[in-house]
Chain A
């Protein structure tokens, strides 16, 4: 199965700063079928990015995804208070679909 490794485990930043989250796959992700999700405490995850770089409906432009093959990045520009949460990547190109272990974005 494709193992996804996210880094860092925790990222401490201040509002207004830029966050860069990494997701590395153990093998090439088929058709760049890589998604990013945001999860806040007590809530279900929410789709942010699909196809590595396409924003889901209603997602602000400050969220962007990039990468291909085995290396992917989620960038959040000008962090807002509501962005502090846990972020997961998921590959849905090869069964079994797998998630990364998550990156916690916390307020510095």
Chain B
């Protein structure tokens, strides 16, 4: 059974760094793209980017290029989303998502709250 297990909720201050994780199981991690989707409070879904763990190829959405870093450690089947300096506007739920034909599996989401 495919599972995406995300790290727990985070509360951070503006300017702090953060790395959240998504551990995959039940399939060959290196064979499928995996990515991140943002959902700000009360808003829709936004495509952030994807990574192919097999060769670490990464693609970003224009709004997120340079703002976040997506990475993966294939030795532990885990994808990451990282910020070097958080802003209040980064407050959102972040979903990890596996791509085959569309997103067939979603993680439960990680709530990130950025507040002074």
Give the number of chain A interface residues (Cβ < 8 Å): 24
**Would you call the interface of chain B mostly helix, strand, loop, or mixed?**
strand
Give the residues in chain A near B47, CB-CB below 8 Å: 90, 96-99
Give the number of chain B interface residues (Cβ < 8 Å): 21
Does A54 sit within 8 A of B, measured CB to CB? yes
- Give the Cβ gap from A28 to chain B, nearest Cβ, in Å: 17
CA distance A45 to B37 in the complex (A): 10
CA distance A51 to B47 in the complex (A): 18
A90 and B62 contact, Cβ closer than 8 Å, known pairs A44-B95, A98-B47: no
Residues from 38 to 69 in A contacting B, C-beta threshold 8 Å: 39, 44-47, 50-51, 54, 56
**Would you call the interface of chain A mostly helix, strand, loop, or mixed?**
loop
A95 and B59 contact, Cβ closer than 8 Å, known pairs A47-B102, A54-B101, A101-B44: yes
Contact with B along A85-108 (1 / 0, CB 8 A): 000101010011111111000000
List, sorted by A's number, 26 A–B pairs whose CB atoms are closer than 8 Å.
A1-B61, A1-B62, A37-B45, A39-B45, A44-B107, A45-B95, A45-B103, A45-B106, A47-B103, A50-B102, A56-B104, A88-B44, A90-B103, A92-B99, A92-B101, A92-B103, A96-B47, A96-B49, A96-B59, A96-B61, A99-B44, A99-B45, A99-B46, A99-B47, A102-B44, A102-B45
